[in-house]
Chain A
């Protein structure tokens, strides 16, 4: 009776997830083994692992993957640095207006990324952009969306939107730390820097790890900023993996190939997360 009840509670969710996640995942793998085209959905032919073999020599795919890794590494490390600094500032008991700052500083993570992308496209536009005009006024001419800068600019936009998420998690982590070790350190004459380095950071490690992994997984999905601003250009300089899969599947109509790319992406992410998890755990 007891057993029956708990599984009756679970059954609807499990069924739904099998239907909307499990089935599509399996279906997607089946599609990746065929020459599936949007222009000829009925006429797909079985080709086995040919798409996967072709991917090995597909330069655009690896460029997109490399761009995404650069984007993720840049954005997430800056977000970590800024998020931790802001969290430390807001954690201080004596800081004025903590709640006010906190609630405003957190807002960017709640708004739709396409709006963020378009706002910054406008702000950084070479003719209409107020930020461009302001930096020109102090003698700095920056072409934000040139082939060299565009990917970095997109990463900075990500930093604007997602540092709040780091701040949210790290601030909660700081608030959950016990007080005693810090008081003991103060009595022993430790400086603020020493207690940060030897107490705060080690004790905060689980939260840091969780925040980094969650943010990385999310940053891998970057799509909206690319769609809103650069559409992968100039050249292939901002072609990210999610955008590339969208392009191959829905602009070039090659659904089979796009599915194969998606599966390679899952494998790459899995390897990365597992590596990161174990190396950070041991450190």
Chain B
């Protein structure tokens, strides 16, 4: 019993943290279900829930198009990042290619402030006539997705025993076959986690998308950012759009959390 009482203070603190974290979500969800008049009286709980905002957002706005654009940008970014990042990560992990300095140069690329890259990207895309297209956004998202995926996979590949590909090569595989037929399948969770995390980062980006897209190619964060220009009148719709943007990544986060530290470390946090 005494033991139980000793557990109460930490539990209370964690509950406070929990409320602080959850409250904004709950309030936004509630706002998306409130009629316009009730939104103006935040402490009044007497309202009849309505789906009007959701209906407007899902059926009469550009949000579905923006969801599609965000999904496409994310899928292309992740696809290319995996295609180029996985072989490179294998080279880093198995052959120590380029030593540790090349690894860190690649990581440093991920840390560059977007403000540094946006001006040249804007001009390059202008010259290539790619402004207002999702390809411009994919290119900028690769600047963080490529280093991230590579770094992520190094961490997972380091844990795969070398005997595996040696055995495969004795059995007649080439080096390349040993890599993609034997090694890649063993790090499937790592590939999944890297893909999911890179997708989340792409899905969440506002800065690049805001400057490189137009009406047709706008992504979801750009769409959400557009709501407040109506001086708070579209509060309910904005809340619905926010829920739409954060729900999928929150669910995805439960799958990715477990692998995140292992991936982010890339060997750096182990020692």
Q: Which residues of A contact B (CB under 8 A)?
A: 2, 5-7, 9-10, 12-14, 16-17, 20-21, 23-25, 27-28, 31, 41, 85-86, 89-90, 92, 94-97, 101-108, 110-116, 118-123, 125, 127-130, 133-134, 137, 160, 168-169, 172-173, 176, 206-207, 210, 217, 220-221, 223-224, 227-228, 241-242, 245-246, 249-250, 255, 258-259, 261-263, 265-266, 269
Q: Does A41 lie within 8 Å of B126, measured CB to CB?
A: yes
Contacts between chains A and B (CB distance < 8 A), count: 251
Q: Does B206 lie within 8 Å of A104, measured CB to CB?
A: no
Q: Is B260 an interface residue (CB 8 A)?
A: yes
Q: Does B207 lie within 8 Å of A224, measured CB to CB?
A: yes
26 intermolecular pairs with C-beta atoms under 8 Å apart: A6-B97, A7-B91, A9-B88, A14-B88, A21-B143, A24-B124, A25-B116, A31-B119, A95-B7, A101-B14, A103-B254, A110-B250, A111-B204, A113-B206, A122-B27, A128-B40, A168-B257, A168-B260, A169-B269, A176-B269, A206-B269, A220-B113, A242-B113, A245-B118, A246-B211, A259-B119
Q: Given A17-B106, A169-B261, is A262 in contact with B39 using a C-beta cutoff of 8 Å?
A: no
Q: Does A13 lie within 8 Å of B87, measured CB to CB?
A: yes
B144 nearest in chain A by CB position: A21
Q: Does A221 lie within 8 Å of B119, measured CB to CB?
A: no
Main secondary structure, interface of A, reads helix
Residue from B146, B205, B239 in contact with A17 in the complex, judged by beta carbons closer than 8 Å: B146
A94 nearest in chain B by CB position: B7
User: How many chain-B residues does the 8 Å CB contact rule pick out?
Assistant: 96
**Chain A residues with Cβ under 8 A from B61's Cβ?**
none
Q: Is B51 an interface residue (CB 8 A)?
A: no
**Chain B residues with Cβ under 8 A from A10's Cβ?**
87-88, 91-92, 97-98
Q: Does A121 lie within 8 Å of B39, measured CB to CB?
A: no
Q: Given A12-B87, A262-B113, A269-B113, is A113 in contact with B211 using a C-beta cutoff of 8 Å?
A: no
A173 to B252, CA, bound (A): 23
Q: Does B228 lie within 8 Å of A118, measured CB to CB?
A: yes
Residue from B22, B27, B113, B140 in contact with A104 in the complex, judged by beta carbons closer than 8 Å: B22
Q: Does A27 lie within 8 Å of B123, measured CB to CB?
A: yes
A4 nearest in chain B by CB position: B175
Q: Is B43 an interface residue (CB 8 A)?
A: yes
Q: Does B245 lie within 8 Å of A115, measured CB to CB?
A: yes
Q: Does B150 lie within 8 Å of A6, measured CB to CB?
A: no
**Chain A residues with Cβ under 8 A from B98's Cβ?**
10
The residue in A5, A221, A265 that gathers the most chain B C-beta atoms within 10 A of its C-beta is A5
**Chain A residues with Cβ under 8 A from B117's Cβ?**
21, 24-25, 28
Q: Does B206 lie within 8 Å of A125, measured CB to CB?
A: no
Q: Given A17-B106, A111-B249, A114-B224, is A129 in contact with B13 using a C-beta cutoff of 8 Å?
A: no
Q: Does A210 lie within 8 Å of B139, measured CB to CB?
A: no
A27 to B80, CA, bound (A): 24
Q: Is B115 an interface residue (CB 8 A)?
A: yes
A26 nearest in chain B by CB position: B120
Q: Does B42 lie within 8 Å of A221, measured CB to CB?
A: no
A115 nearest in chain B by CB position: B242
Q: Does B17 lie within 8 Å of A262, measured CB to CB?
A: no
Residue from A12, A115, A123, A246 in contact with B115 in the complex, judged by beta carbons closer than 8 Å: A246
A6 to B207, CA, bound (A): 36
**Chain A residues with Cβ under 8 A from B115's Cβ?**
221, 223, 241-242, 245-246, 258, 261-262, 265
Q: Given A9-B87, A9-B90, is A122 in contact with B235 using a C-beta cutoff of 8 Å?
A: yes
Q: Is B133 an interface residue (CB 8 A)?
A: no
A97 to B187, CA, bound (A): 30
**Chain B residues with Cβ under 8 A from A221's Cβ?**
113-115
Mark interface residues in B166-195 (1 if CB within 8 Å of A CB, else 0).
Answer: 000000000110010000000000000000
**Chain A residues with Cβ under 8 A from B124's Cβ?**
24, 27
Q: Does A266 lie within 8 Å of B113, measured CB to CB?
A: yes
B88 nearest in chain A by CB position: A13
Q: Does B269 lie within 8 Å of A28, measured CB to CB?
A: no
Q: Is B76 an interface residue (CB 8 A)?
A: no
Q: Given A114-B225, A266-B116, is A224 in contact with B176 using a C-beta cutoff of 8 Å?
A: no
A124 to chain B, nearest CB (A): 10
Residue from B20, B31, B90 in contact with A122 in the complex, judged by beta carbons closer than 8 Å: B31
B247 nearest in chain A by CB position: A111
